[in-house]
Amino acid sequence: MTSIDTFDVLTLTDEARQVVLDALNNETPSETLALWIEVTGTRGPGYSYDLYFSELNLAPSDAAIGHDGEITIVVPQASVERLRGSRLEFASDGGGGLVLVNPNSPAPEELNPGVSAEILAFGIDGPLGTVAVSVLEQQVNPSIASHGGHADLVALDEEHKTAYIKLSGGCQGCAMSRLTLTQGIETTLREAIPELVSVLDVTDHASGVNPFYTPE
């Protein structure tokens, strides 16, 4: 268990600390509760998080535990390095809320579970990959955003001119995703990159939630 005196995983701004304290004071009994912060997965290019109050005595023995002012913070061990150096802020935009500013980013294998290391090794920083990323962000994603979809370039094999695409949002798990890929994304990419040989979908569609289109 990390010492309270050396807790350096994350900090709270003054505004965020007050928001948490106000919420904590509405809990019963507040004296035995801690603020738990943990990484739950990935969202877009970053991590997704869960922040909640729970009993301090439920913290695992390997969790990082510390104080920020009057607030006790618990970070489960699996989230410690993913959160180290983070800052919890209060953002007034959109009605106001807590925002975790994290300097850490998921590794490629975290962002693309199920995609082989061999494919990820191609990267996206080559000449064709750079063009493909630009096309997806400027042409494809604004179009499919209307039904909550998003397309990311996972890798581009510059030698064999093959692009590997991952769909998310409304396109993940959607019965129309193949049509979206072939008649929309692939066509747009080929127009911008004539030498492109193939566009392959590496999305884990089995884990898609709430697709925009479902069959009758």
pLDDT at 210: 44
Q: Answer yes or no: do 89 and 139 share one domain.
A: no
Give the pLDDT of residue 207: 55
Q: For residues 78 and 129, state if they share a domain.
A: no
Q: Check: CB of residue 123 under 8 Å from CB of residue 138.
A: no
Q: Give percent of the chain above pLDDT 70.
A: 82
Whole-number average pLDDT of the chain: 83
pLDDT at 135: 92
Domain limit, last residue, from 105, 134, 149: 105
Query: Does residue 215 lie in a domain region?
Result: no
Q: Residue 212 — very low, low, confident or very high, per pLDDT cuts 50/70/90?
A: very low
Domain-terminating residue out of 90, 105, 120: 105
Q: Say yes or no to pLDDT of 102 above 80.
A: yes
Which residue range forms the structural domain that includes residue 25? Answer: 4-105
Among 75, 105, 135, give the residue marking a domain's end: 105
pLDDT over 90, % of the chain: 46
Residue 124, pLDDT > 70, answer yes
Taking alpha carbons only, the member of 8, 2, 1, 5 closest to residue 86 is 8
- What local confidence, expressed as pLDDT, does residue 138 receive? 92
Of residues 33 and 41, the one with the higher pLDDT is 33
pLDDT, one tens digit per residue, over 59-74 is 999 999 999 888 999 9
pLDDT at 209 over 60: no
pTM above 0.85, yes or no: no
pLDDT value at residue 43: 74
What gap in Å lies between CA 70 and CA 74, rounded to an integer? Answer: 13
Q: Tell me what pLDDT residue 37 has.
A: 96
91 to each of 56, 97, 99, 103, 208, how far by Cα in Å?
27, 5, 6, 17, 30
Residue 105 has pLDDT above 60, yes or no: yes
CATH value at residue 166: 3.30.300.130
Has residue 146 got a pLDDT over 50? yes
**pLDDT confidence tier of residue 15, bands split at 50, 70 and 90:** very high
Residue 160 has pLDDT above 60, yes or no: yes
The verdict on 81 and 124 lying in the same domain is no
Tokens standing for residue 197 = 């040989």
Query: Is the distance from CB of 175 to CB of 215 less than 8 angstroms?
Result: yes
b/e burial code for range 67-84 (CB count within 10 A of at least 16 → b)? ebeebbbbbbeebbebbe
> Does the residue 212 lie in any domain?
no
